[in-house]
Amino acid sequence: MAKTVLITGATSGIGKAAALALAQQGYHVIIHGRNPGKTEVIRKEIIDESGNGQVSAVTADLYSLADIRRMCAGIHGQFSRIDILINNAGGLLGKSREATQENFEKTFAVNVLAPFLITHLLMDLLIKSDDARIINVASNSHQLNAKPDFGDIQLEKQYNPLRAYGNAKLFLIWNTQHLAGQLQRDGITNVRAYTLHPGAVATSFGVGSDLGPVLNFVSKLARSFFRSPESGADTIVYLATAENVPGKSGDYFVDRKPAKKSTKYFTAEREQLIWNYCLEQTGLYR
């Protein structure tokens, strides 16, 4: 039976390229999008291009924890096992701070809380796989732009889009390594978790983000040197499909290889603090 892979943010850019590559390799691909019409168009496109009819679609607005819960309940109704979860959806917001209806800063909501909640809600389906993989798409921005203030996680006092993005990807990396440690402590050896940086990729990423005139100009100029979405998807597809992934669960990858994460702000206490904060905010504390 074909392995089942769920990939968020598969309606454009890196996620769409990864979904197509996995469909071409015979996986049963569940694509996630936020707009039902757009998601259905992409689903048909992937079926046509790959020749693989086993492409399903789910939708949710990842700015809404309630909608994520609804989507994951639907996935439980449809699928009995998930082998690979790729938390790819994410992005950089604009120069003015925006909050979700549930009152989370949007960069944090989509890049940190959404993958956290999806992973927890689908863990029972992942555990059923012989070789489950959770692949969280991070960024080297965690090295370049993060400057976390643990008293202001929602950046209510000092918001800046690049800092919000760098912090969010740093927290995503910490949550992934924390999860890997927890799985190991619980004796769960059939589920591994990874993060990666896809490179600088020419997608819709940052295109609609108004970062101010100087950064807008620089990012437009830099875009012509970026890699293709297919090349950006390469490490994701590798982590999803390789028989023997080097390194260990919880590692961060660049160009298929385990790479160094920033240690600048890391302490085990801070990692635990962010994990607990996500547990509380997503209502997962039992």
Ligand X SMILES: NC(=O)c1ccc[n+]([C@@H]2O[C@H](COP(=O)([O-])OP(=O)(O)OC[C@H]3O[C@@H](n4cnc5c(N)ncnc54)[C@H](OP(=O)(O)O)[C@@H]3O)[C@@H](O)[C@H]2O)c1
Which residues lie near ligand X (CB under 6 A)? 9, 11-15, 33-35, 61-63, 88-91, 110, 137, 139, 197-198, 200-201, 203-205
- Closest to ligand X by CB, 9 vs 250, is 9
Residue 67 structure tokens = 């909608």
| 116 Cβ neighbours under 8 A, 6+ residues apart | 175, 278, 282
Provide CB contacts within 8 A for 243, sequence distance 6+: none
Closest C-alpha to 192, from 258, 130, 254, 235: 130
CB of 191 to ligand X, least distance (A): 21
Nearest CA among 22, 103, 32, 30 for reference residue 62: 32
Q: Residue 12 or residue 25: which is nearer to ligand X going by CB?
A: 12
Considering beta carbons, is residue 20 or 201 the nearer one to ligand X? 201
User: Which long-range CB contacts under 8 A does 144-147 form with residues at least 24 apart?
Assistant: 146/170, 146/262, 146/264, 146/265, 147/265
For residues 139 and 146, is the Cβ–Cβ distance under 8 A?
A: no
Give min distance, CB of 14 to ligand X, in A. Answer: 4
Q: Taking the complex as a whole, how short is the minimal distance between the CB of residue 72 and ligand X, in angstroms?
A: 14
Best CA proximity match to 280, nearest among 102, 139, 158: 102
Which one is catalytic: 27, 63, 159, 165? 165
Sequence-separated contacts (24+) of 76-79 with Cβ below 8 Å: 76/125, 79/4, 79/30, 79/125
CB of 244 to ligand X, least distance (A): 25
Smallest separation, CB 1 to ligand X (Å) = 27
Is the Cβ of residue 35 or residue 190 nearer to ligand X in the bound state?
A: 35
Q: Can you tell me the distance from the alpha carbon of 24 to that of 125, in angstroms, rounded to the nearest whole number?
A: 23
52/87 with CB nearer ligand X: 87
265 a catalytic residue: no
Annotated catalytic sites, by residue?
165
